[in-house]
Amino acid sequence: MTKLAKRLLVFIIGVPFSAGVVLLLPYKAHLAANILVILLSAFGALEFAALLKKKNNPLGAAEAAILGVAAPLAATLTVSFGADEGITGVVCASGAFWLLTSRIFSPEERVKDALNRAAAGFAVTLYPGAFMAWIIRMGSLPRASPVILVFLLMVVANDSGAWAAGVLFGRGNRGVVPVSPNKSVAGFIGGFACTMAIGLCAVIFLPEPFAPRGVAPPVAGLALGFIAALGATLGDLGESALKRSADTKDSGALIPGRGGVLDSIDSFCLAAPVYYIVYGLLFSPFLP
């Protein structure tokens, strides 16, 4: 099976599965989806730790997985089980406490890598886990199911639109971004256009969760799509820079046709917080 066929197969299976989890299992503020986010964060953290290790920043697999799920686990306890918001700070501070103190009584040869290990641990705590936690926070919003679904569709549309436009029209305009020379201007335009189209459809067909205050609905939908596309694009390029620094093509090989888990969630990571914040600003779910 070719890489393209594998990529399409993952798309055909993955998108309906993700949509089904969001729409059919909304219980406990989307606990099922939250668990899925936690698992993806764990695998993504393991792959990120492997990249860091290539730059002499060693971190054990167990430590990487635990630190990687700290933020999304804390967000799940808050959103799905009503824990105090302060638990996020407690969990993350506990991880930092461990990184700073666990080498105190180690032999000198192990102390020598304490700084690099701590840097790797702090990095893994933030990426991808702290970014992915924003997806879990969406479960606390009013009418969360369509809000989460539109977010997922926007990121997928950005990736798919960029790929299709790049293949069809990107032959002579590639290389604009050094960290990812195969990306094209046509691809960027196609990705943004598809994501903004999802935003426009959201305000037209889902007027309850996407009813803006003080802004014309089409403008709000296009703006939300634009900022989500920007976050998704930067997330993809950001991970490309990390991989290029580590002289690695893919973060892993777990997902056929796409590489590793981090390769598949990189766009979601940076798109999630900006989508959440801009949705709140445009559609004001937090205001009475």
- Residue 2: phi, psi to the nearest 5? -70, 165
Residue 255: pLDDT above 90?
A: no
**Number of Cβ atoms within 10 Å of the Cβ of 119:** 15
- pLDDT for position 1: 61
Q: How far apart are CA 77 and CA 243, in angstroms?
A: 32
Q: How far apart are CA 48 and CA 252, in angstroms?
A: 9
Residue 288: pLDDT above 60?
A: no
| Residues 215-228: tens digit of each pLDDT | 999 999 999 999 99
Please report, as a single letter, which amino acid is at residue 223.
Answer: A
Q: 114 in a domain, yes or no?
A: yes
Q: 181 in a domain, yes or no?
A: yes
Strand partners, 174: 184
Tracing tokens 């490309």 back to the chain, one arrives at 240
- pLDDT for position 240: 95
- pLDDT for position 287: 53
Tracing tokens 């802004």 back to the chain, one arrives at 215
- pLDDT for position 203: 97
Confidence of residue 239 (pLDDT cuts 50, 70, 90): very high
Q: 288 in a domain, yes or no?
A: no
As for how many domains the chain has, the answer is 1
Q: 186 in a domain, yes or no?
A: yes
Residue 11: pLDDT above 90?
A: no
Global pTM reads 0.94
Give all strands (DSSP E) within the chain, no chain letters: none
- pLDDT for position 9: 77
- pLDDT for position 8: 76
Confidence of residue 257 (pLDDT cuts 50, 70, 90): confident
Domain ranges, residue 177:
3-283
Provide the token pair at 55: 């730059």
- pLDDT for position 35: 97
Please report, as a single letter, which amino acid is at residue 163.
Answer: W
Torsion of CA 249, 252, 257, 262, to 10 degrees: -90
Integer angstrom CA distances of residue 198 from 20, 43, 154: 18, 29, 6
Q: How far apart are CA 122 and CA 129, in angstroms?
A: 11
Q: 234 in a domain, yes or no?
A: yes
Q: 19 in a domain, yes or no?
A: yes
Chain centre distance of CA 54: 23
Tracing tokens 């709140």 back to the chain, one arrives at 280
| Least confident among 73-87, 109-123, 127-141, 231-245 | 109-123
Residue 238: pLDDT above 90?
A: yes
